[in-house]
C-alpha cells in the first residue's frame, strides 16, 4: 500500500503549481522573466524533484512534454497563418 502523502496526483499538481507560482511572482513584483525562470528551476531541482516518487517524475516529464508540444504547435500555426496573410505581403511589396 502506498503512502497517501506520496500520491502521484498530488505531487504532479504541486510541481505544476510551483511553476505557475513563479509566473505569479514575476507578474506581481515585475521581476525579470529569465531571472524568475532560473530561480524557479533552481528551487524545483533542489527541493521538489528529489523528494517525489519515481512515478511522479515520469508523469511530470510527460505532462510538461505534452504541454510544450501543444504550445509549440500553436506557435507554429500562428506564425504560419501570419506568413500567409496577403495584406501584409501587399504592404511589403508596395514599399
Provide the residue ranges of all domains of the chain, joining segments of one domain with +.
4-69
**Model confidence pLDDT, tens digit, residues 59-73:** 989 998 999 999 999
Whole-structure pTM value: 0.66
Judged against a pLDDT cut of 90, whether residue 49 lies above it is answered with: no
Length of the chain: 95
Grid cell, residue 34, equals 529569465
5 confidence band (pLDDT: 50, 70, 90): low
Question: To which residue does cell 521538489 refer?
Answer: 48
Please, are residues 44 and 64 in contact by the beta-carbon 8 Å criterion?
A: no
| Residue 2 confidence (pLDDT) above 60 | no
Amino acid at each position: 500500500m502506498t503512502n497517501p502523502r506520496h500520491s502521484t496526483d498530488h505531487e504532479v499538481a504541486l510541481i505544476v503549481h510551483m511553476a505557475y507560482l513563479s509566473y505569479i511572482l514575476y507578474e506581481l513584483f515585475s521581476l525579470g522573466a529569465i531571472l524568475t525562470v532560473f530561480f524557479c528551476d533552481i528551487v524545483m531541482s533542489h527541493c521538489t524533484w528529489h523528494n517525489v516518487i519515481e512515478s511522479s517524475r515520469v508523469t511530470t516529464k510527460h505532462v510538461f512534454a505534452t504541454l510544450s508540444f501543444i504550445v509549440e504547435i500553436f506557435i507554429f500555426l500562428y506564425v504560419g497563418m501570419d506568413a500567409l496573410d496577403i495584406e501584409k505581403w501587399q504592404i511589403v511589396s508596395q514599399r
